[in-house]
Amino acid sequence: MAILINNDGDCSQEWANHLQPHLPEYTLYCYEQLSNTDAIVEDIEYALVWNHPAGDLRRYPNLKAILILGAGTEHIDHDSTVPQVPIVRLIDPEMSRDMAQYALYWVMNTQRHYDTYRQQQLQHRWQRYPAAAAGDINVLIVGMGEIGTTIAEIFQWNGFVVTGWNRRPKEVTDIDCRFGFDTLEPALSEADAVVLCLPKNAHTIGFINRQRLAKMKPNATLINVGRGAVIDDDALREALDNETLDRAVLDVYSEEPLPSAAWYWQHPKVTVTPHMSGATYPRSAAKVIAANIRRIERGETPYPIHPHPAHIKN
């Protein structure tokens, strides 16, 4: 019994070191060190991958499942040759908490005027500004999956008014969760801060467009921790330049690393961070992955399953 590990060709040994204590009966092979002998290829039962070479996964005849070393799926969705075995996304509670803290920081940064005070320090200037109470600030979470739900709960615990929006119905205790496209624009118009937690797929590319940006408050902050492609870049720039949106905090982009010529870098109303809002930690994620492998071995369904586009029947 063996497990293949490939984290984009990087840090695979670290993953192996953290996984082995949880799965001692398995032999772990790092992809960059893998031999092509038939015996090893046939021994692979689980593939733990991120940005794995297209076409490679079909050469393991006894593969039981593919476990993604991250929350995103676009890298594997582009491979039409993926075998029809369960594909499992990684939802690590530590990563979700990191992303929630990231979003919370930037909302509080605006709420409490921290950037203004930093500038005043350089000027040796002493001036206070009134700050809105958390209970007077409406935060909209767009995309109420596992990560979006954690972000919503963190904001709620810190006293903010929280609204969740999802394409499909979702219930979260004590949080106003709306669903369906007819509820989205009214929710955008009420929000002081909008946190995007959307994946990249056929439904979400260009999701935040001119029409939806126009519904937002002129003093609102837009925070994106999902995928860069969900925002129409040109529409966002127009909204910021025309002062129909106050600020954008972006951690993800349509092209990464963000090119040096990208307008985001120098725009005074944009904060750029290098896709770091939520890190994947092998020390904690290994427990989640091992638990899913144990579920499969017991004949149970791992969580969360990702439906690969090539496996969905029309």
Structural domains of the chain, ranges and CATH numbers in brackets: 2-92+280-311 (3.40.50.720), 93-272 (3.40.50.720)
Q: Which residues contact 212 (CB under 8 A, 6 or more apart)?
A: 184, 185, 188
pLDDT (tens digit per residue) in 63-100: 999 999 988 888 899 899 999 999 999 999 999 999 99
Contact 75, 50 (CB under 8 A): yes
C-alpha distance from residue 180 to each of 119, 159, 183, 281 (Å): 42, 26, 6, 34
Residues whose CB falls within 8 Å of the CB of residue 24, separated by 6 or more in sequence, listed in order: none
Neighbouring C-beta atoms of residue 112, cutoff 10 Å? 13
pLDDT score, position 47: 97
Residue-by-residue DSSP string for 135-149: GG-EEEEE--SHHHH
Q: Among 52, 89, 212, 227, which one carries the catalytic annotation?
A: 227
Cis preceding linkage at 21, omega within 30: no
Strands (E), the chain: 2-7, 27-30, 44-50, 65-68, 87-88, 138-142, 161-166, 176-179, 193-196, 221-224, 247-250, 270-272
pLDDT digits (tens, 9 = 90+) for 107-157: 999 999 999 999 999 999 999 999 999 999 999 999 999 999 999 999 999
> Is 227 an annotated catalytic residue?
yes
Residues 6+ apart with CB under 8 A from 203: 167
Of residues 22, 210, 267, 275, which has the active-site annotation? 275
User: What is residue 314's predicted lDDT score, i.e. its pLDDT?
Assistant: 46
Identify the sign of the CA torsion 286, 289, 290, 291.
Answer: positive
Find the radius of gyration of the CA atoms of the chain.
Answer: 22
Task: Report the percentage of the chain scoring pLDDT > 90.
Answer: 88
- Quote the pLDDT of residue 313: 58
Complete DSSP assignment for 59-95: G-TT--EEEESSS--HHHHT-TT--SS-EE----HHH
> Is 47 within 8 Å of 66 (Cβ atoms)?
yes
- Residue labelled with tokens 């499992």: 88
Place of tokens 């005043």: 120
Q: What is the pLDDT of residue 87?
A: 96
Name the pTM for this structure: 0.91
Query: Which of 50, 49, 51 has its CA nearest to residue 4?
Result: 49
Cα dist from 1 to 28, 35, 195, 289, 303, whole Å: 9, 15, 42, 16, 22
- What integer best gives the mean pLDDT of the chain? 94
d(CA 218, CA 206): 20
- Whether 275 is catalytic: yes
Q: Prior bond to 304 cis, omega within 30?
A: yes
Instruction: Give the separation between CA 253 and CA 76, rounded to whole angstroms.
Output: 18
List of the chain residues with pLDDT < 50: 314
| Closest C-alpha to 179, from 192, 169, 189 | 169
